[in-house]
């Protein structure tokens, strides 16, 4: 790791730098704990992230990339050729990713590049001073399916594989004008290559290596226009067959962290296992698996409920099927029904109060009324004047009528079913 010529870095499976040597720290100070792509140009950062995804899917395959690292300021870049390998445990689990790189400026110091061909996986063509091919290695032969009889002593610019590529022609001109080394990209045998020309005595060494080319995905499953999907009154996520997010509306952007525990980017797989385990994440995972099998799921999520308020989300996860009933994607719809749930909560509380009010009058009113009727029975009519006797005759029937009505009300209240 203490080499003065090679860049060395160890990363975790998320691309975060765990350890690096001093040469790398010169172009990426305080890199530990940060993602490797933070120290790349925007163009090559995308290429690296894609290659990292490929490496994790096929750990035994090495990846070779020419990456640009900002140097000094954002307008200046150091071009470094990297080889990345995945390290696995005896059980086959991925433990880390190792990268070894070498800067193009080393060519100007006349280092033994023949050794670097083996280290970094370059292929090499050897040209004489008149650009005639004198030799090549087995890698180039494999990439272009050619044998000695096709290229031997033939002008590079007269070959079918290299003669029509303007980038190779212009790079040879730069080499003639004194620029050394010259880095470029070119198309060859249906692949994109990184190429590098360097003088070595009377010879010209043409180094090359195939670049990772992102596979073209089939047309994304876009059910709605951008305007149409934002008219839906809820959060909409659309996934493809690999549970990769391919479309969403603005409300879905706002609810990503609430629903999944992380912000989701379009084009990124919805890897629920990457999020902290919870009952909600497990339900999502099962529901997505069910959708991939053609089944519909609906459930409710409650987040941080308060004492007086309920925060609730209703979620529907549906498979998207073609005419042959094959699952082409997943439709996730979530809407905030907190307002409805809060109304239901308040109605239940009010029903409890009504239930108490419905059952209490017979106990509250019949007690004093019974006492009143008892007192009326104790009154001595003979001691009353004729006028009071007349008034007393009205009072007792009214009290008995009230007692009868209270009894009827109690019977009806006892039979009334109020939802709790």
Q: Identify the CATH number of the domain in which residue 67 sits.
A: 3.30.450.20
Chain mean pLDDT for the chain: 78
Q: Which of helix, strand or coil describes residue 77? A: strand
d(CA 67, CA 24): 13
Same domain flag for 272 and 296 = yes
Strands, E assignment, 252-357: 297-302, 312-321, 327-336
Q: Quick one: tokens of 87?
A: 């390290």
Task: Note the pTM of the prediction, 2 decimals.
Answer: 0.38
Of 67, 82, 109, the domain-final residue: 109
Same domain flag for 251 and 327 = yes
Residue 134 maps to a domain: yes
Residue 322 maps to a domain: yes
Residue 215 maps to a domain: no
- In the DSSP assignment, the letter for residue 382 is G
Same domain flag for 246 and 281 = yes
Q: Which of 11-25, 32-46, 166-180, 342-356 is predicted least confidently?
A: 342-356
pLDDT digits (tens, 9 = 90+) for 186-197: 888 777 888 888
Same domain flag for 86 and 14 = yes
Would you say 261 and 275 are in contact if contact means Cβ atoms under 8 Å apart? yes
Same domain flag for 290 and 358 = no
Quote the domain boundaries for residue 398: 343-415
Between residues 146 and 59, the one the model is more confident about: 59
d(CA 222, CA 214): 21
Same domain flag for 49 and 93 = yes
pLDDT exceeding 90 applies to what percent of the chain? 8
Same domain flag for 188 and 286 = no
Torsion of CA 286, 292, 298, 302, to 10 degrees: 40
pLDDT for 105: 61
d(CA 139, CA 121): 8
Same domain flag for 94 and 14 = yes
Q: Which of 8-17, 80-89, 321-330, 407-416 is predicted least confidently?
A: 407-416
Same domain flag for 321 and 350 = no
Same domain flag for 324 and 374 = no
Q: Which residues contact 356 (CB under 8 A, 6 or more apart)?
A: none
Q: How many domains does the chain have?
A: 4
Residue 116 maps to a domain: no
Q: Quick one: tokens of 131?
A: 């650009």
- Bridge partner list, 96: 87
Same domain flag for 326 and 370 = no
DSSP 43-74: HHHHHHHHHHHHHHHSTTS-EEEEEEEEESEE
Asked whether residue 306 carries a pLDDT value surpassing 60, the answer given is no
Q: Quick one: tokens of 351?
A: 């029903």
The mean pLDDT value for 8-17 works out to 91
Distances (CA, A) of 167 to 27, 105, 128, 183, 214: 29, 20, 19, 10, 21
**H runs (alpha helix) in 306-385:** 338-359, 361-378
d(CA 341, CA 353): 19
Residue 135 maps to a domain: yes
Same domain flag for 235 and 329 = yes
Residue 219 maps to a domain: no
Element (H, E) at 408: helix 386-415
Of 109, 132, 148, the domain-final residue: 109
Residue 366 maps to a domain: yes
- Under the banding of pLDDT at 50, 70 and 90, the label for residue 99 is very high
pLDDT for 418: 55
d(CA 272, CA 239): 13
Residue 216 maps to a domain: no
Of 210, 237, 261, the domain-final residue: 210
């Amino acid at each position: 790791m203490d080499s003065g010529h090679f860049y060395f870095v160890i990363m975790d499976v998320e691309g975060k730098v765990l350890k690096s040597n001093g040469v790398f720290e010169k172009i990426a100070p305080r890199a530990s704990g940060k993602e490797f792509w933070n120290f790349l140009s925007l163009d090559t950062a995308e290429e690296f992230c894609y290659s990292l995804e490929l490496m994790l899917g096929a750990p035994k395959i090495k990846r070779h990339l020419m990456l640009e690292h900002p140097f000094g300021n954002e307008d200046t870049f150091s071009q470094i050729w990297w080889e990345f390998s995945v390290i696995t445990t005896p059980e086959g689990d991925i433990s880390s990713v190792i990268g070894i790189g070498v800067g193009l400026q080393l060519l100007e110091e006349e280092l033994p590049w023949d050794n670097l061909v083996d280290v970094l996986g370059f292929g090499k063509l050897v040209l004489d001073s008149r650009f005639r091919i004198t030799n090549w290695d087995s890698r180039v032969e494999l990439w272009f399916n050619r044998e000695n009889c096709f290229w031997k002593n033939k002008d590079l610019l007269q070959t079918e594989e290299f003669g029509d590529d303007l980038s190779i022609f212009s790079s040879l001109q730069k080499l003639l004008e004194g620029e050394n080394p010259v880095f470029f990209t070119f198309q060859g045998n249906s692949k994109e290559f990184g190429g590098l020309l360097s003088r070595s005595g009377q010879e010209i060494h043409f180094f090359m290596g195939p670049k990772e080319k992102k596979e073209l995905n089939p047309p994304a499953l876009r059910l709605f226009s951008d305007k149409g999907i934002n008219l839906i009154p809820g959060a909409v996520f659309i996934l493809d067959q690999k549970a990769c997010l391919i479309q969403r509306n603005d409300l879905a952007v706002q609810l990503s962290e609430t629903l999944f525990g992380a912000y989701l980017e379009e084009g990124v797989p919805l890897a629920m296992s990457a999020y902290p385990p919870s009952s909600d994440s497990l339900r999502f995972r099962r529901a997505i698996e069910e959708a991939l099998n053609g089944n519909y799921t609906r459930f409710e999520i409650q987040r941080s409920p308060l004492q007086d308020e309920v925060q609730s989300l209703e979620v529907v996860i549906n498979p998207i099927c073609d005419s042959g009933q094959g699952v082409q994607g997943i439709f996730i719809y979530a809407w905030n029904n907190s307002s409805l749930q809060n109304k239901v909560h308040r109605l239940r509380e009010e029903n409890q109060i009504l239930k108490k009010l419905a059952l209490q009058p017979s106990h509250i009113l019949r007690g004093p009324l019974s006492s009143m009727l008892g007192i009326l029975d104790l009154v001595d009519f003979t001691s009353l004047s004729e006028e009071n006797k007349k008034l007393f005759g009205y009072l007792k029937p009214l009290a008995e009528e009230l007692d009868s009505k209270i009894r009827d009300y109690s019977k009806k209240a006892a039979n009334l079913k109020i939802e709790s």
